[in-house]
Structure 1
Amino acid sequence: MIDIEVVYALAQQQTLLALKVPAGSSVAQVLRLEAVVQQWPELDLAAMPVGIFGKVVDQPAERVVQAGERIEIYRPLLADPKEIRRLRAAKAARDRAKAGG
């Protein structure tokens, strides 16, 4: 058995679950454990993006967790970062045009 952590953060609250799992467990197997499912019953853990220490895991069924690792369950983005930057740049251009013209 190895010690790992699973974490999920909302804007107001972060929940960390410390677990002992069999060595050789995949990320997907950990996310199907009863303790994890009970902790976050509202989440579709099979469909949510996950990572380990800030690095996205593209294939959770194949990625084996190591002792001491932290699986992070990521929330979906509320807005596309590229779209936010585009809107911010357009507003700045309008503001410059008003100030100069």
Structure 2
Amino acid sequence: MRVELVYCPAPHACERIELELAEGATLADALRASGLAERHGLAAEALDAGIWGRVQPPQTVLRDGDRVELYRPLTVDPKEARRQRYRGGR
């Protein structure tokens, strides 16, 4: 089974890895196989991950062709960022 794993460590930077996994592999298996957590110094259990834009638990079984996405924690609340842009635009 083939899946794609995507992680954006910084704005405008994207790392994409295609993985070949056994049938019945889970989201956690894909993360381990990719080595992204170790390469970027991330705590694998603290990461939010999803499939096709929807957050899923680590034990979710993957299907052939799935796109697994790892999400960075927000640095600024989106509402606060909008307020700051509005104030700066006056």
- TM-score class, shorter-chain normalisation, is 0.7 to 0.9
Contact 1:4 1:19 in 2 (8 A): yes
- Please give the alpha-carbon distance, in whole angstroms, between the structure 1 residues aligned to 2:18 and 2:37: 11
TM-score for both structures, normalised by structure 1:
0.71
The residue number in structure 1 matching 2:55 is 56
Change (3 A) 1:83 1:38: closer
For the 8 Å contact 1:6–1:72, the answer to whether it is kept is yes
Matching of residues 1-101 of structure 1 within 5 Å? 2-9=1-8, 10-33=10-33, 36-37=34-35, 40-41=38-39, 42-57=41-56, 59-61=57-59, 63-85=60-82, 91=87
Contact 1:31/1:46, CA 8 A, preserved across alignment: no
User: 2:36, 2:13 → 1: CA distance?
Assistant: 17
Aligned length: 87
Q: Following the alignment from structure 1 to structure 2, what is the Cα–Cα distance between the partners of residues 43 and 65?
A: 22
State the Cα distance separating 1:88 from its structure 2 match. Answer: 6.1
Counterpart Cα distance in 2 of 1:66 and 1:5: 11
1:2-33 deviation per Cα after TM superposition (whole angstroms, max 9, x unaligned): 00011101213211100100110110122122
Identity %: 34
Alignment check: 8 A CA contact 2:3 2:67 kept = yes
From the two aligned structures, give the one with the greater strand fraction: 2
8 Å CA contact 1:52–1:70 kept in 2: the answer is: yes
Report if aligned partners of 1:27, 1:71 keep a CA contact under 8 Å in 2.
Answer: yes
Q: Runs (4+) of structure 1 moved beyond 4 Å?
A: 85-89
